[in-house]
Structures are given as C-alpha cells and as structure tokens.
Amino acid sequence: MSRYFEDVQVDEELEPVEKLPTEDLAIDFFGRGNPTNPAFADAEAGRRMGIGGALVPGALKMSWMTQYVSDWAGPEAQIASIRVAFRRPDVAGRPLILMGRVVDKRQDGGKNIVELEVVTVAEGQPSVRGNVAVELPARG
C-alpha cells in the first residue's frame, strides 16, 4: 500500500513493531570471527564481560529502523536520509520495540518530505534514536 504526502499528519504515530534479536542473528550479522568486540562474536564472552550475552550490532538496529520506515511509507516512497544516535547497548534475546512518529512535513525543491522520529526501545528504555526523512508521492 502506498502512503501519500497529503494523507500524513504531523504527530501521527507509526504502529509499533517488535523484533527479537536472537543471539545467532546478532552474532551472524558481523560474523563469528569479528575482532571488534568479543561480545559481538560470542555470547559467552559477553556474559563473562558482564553484558549479559551477545551485543546487538548498531548497524542491525539501524537496518531494522530503515525497514520499519520503508514498510510504513510504501513502495513508491524513497528514504532521503537517516541519522541515528546510539544511546545504550542492547543484548540479544531481549525484545526490541520499534516506534515512530511524524515530526514534520514540507515541500522542499518540489519534493514531498516527511520527517520521522524513530526509536528502538528495550526494557522500557530507548537504545537508538533516529531521524528519517522520507520522500512520499503526492496523490495525483
């Protein structure tokens, strides 16, 4: 289903979506031989470090945010930009809720731009905050 610029309202909330980053998904995202941080490559290493398990890569959470917005916007939309701030780490095996709302809409250079604020929430706390600009089609 396509979403049109005229139908979007500022303060409109996106339907929340739950994701469950399993340990295998989190570890396989970068690969089991990732030298960056042992907790990205080995859940047991994360537990020994006091993290509680495998860390969920920020790039995985950012890709979920991008997909979340793309699903909301529809096939005729195009993501123009995404900026994120990583607030705290997430541990695999704990649900993440993706939530978002429209914070602005404008026409810019002939393009219909909608700005969204998107966040991942784990255990009631935001872990990643993002701002996503989406170009939506007009009803025509």
Q: Which tens digits make up the pLDDT trace of 35-45?
A: 566 667 677 77
Residue 96 has pLDDT above 80, yes or no: yes
SS3 sequence, 84-130?
EEECCCCECCCCEEEEEEEEEEEEECCEEEEEEEEEEEECCEEEEEE
Predicted TM-score (pTM) of this structure: 0.89
Q: How far apart are CA 114 and CA 7, in angstroms?
A: 11
Residue 48 has pLDDT above 80, yes or no: yes
**CA-based radius of gyration for the chain:** 17
Would you place residue 118 in the very low, low, confident or very high pLDDT band (cuts 50, 70, 90)?
Answer: very high
Question: Which range marks the domain in which residue 124 is found?
Answer: 5-21+56-135
Whole-number pLDDT of residue 36: 67
Same domain, 72 and 13: yes
As a whole number, mean pLDDT of residues 38-65 equals 82
Residue 88 has pLDDT above 60, yes or no: yes
Residue 95 lies in a domain: yes
Same domain, 41 and 87: no
Same domain, 26 and 93: no
Whole-number pLDDT of residue 24: 80
Share of the chain above pLDDT 90, in %: 65
Same domain, 78 and 14: yes
Same domain, 81 and 98: yes
Same domain, 46 and 79: no
Same domain, 125 and 64: yes
Q: How far apart are CA 48 and CA 43, in angstroms?
A: 9
Residue 57 has pLDDT above 80, yes or no: yes
Same domain, 87 and 99: yes
Whole-number pLDDT of residue 39: 67
What is the torsion angle, in degrees rounded to the nearest 10, for the CA atoms of residue 44, residue 46, residue 47 and residue 53? -90
Same domain, 31 and 85: no
Whole-number pLDDT of residue 32: 66
Same domain, 108 and 76: yes
Q: How many other C-beta atoms can be found within 10 angstroms of the C-beta atom of residue 122?
A: 20
Which comes out higher in pLDDT, residue 41 or 90? Answer: 90
Residue 90: CATH number of its domain: 3.10.129.10
Provide the edge-to-edge strand list for the sheet that holds 111-122: 13-19, 96-108, 111-122, 125-135, 78-86
Same domain, 107 and 78: yes
Residue 140 lies in a domain: no
Q: What is the phi/psi pair of residue 103, to 5°?
A: -110, -15
What is the number of structural domains in the chain? 2
Same domain, 91 and 64: yes
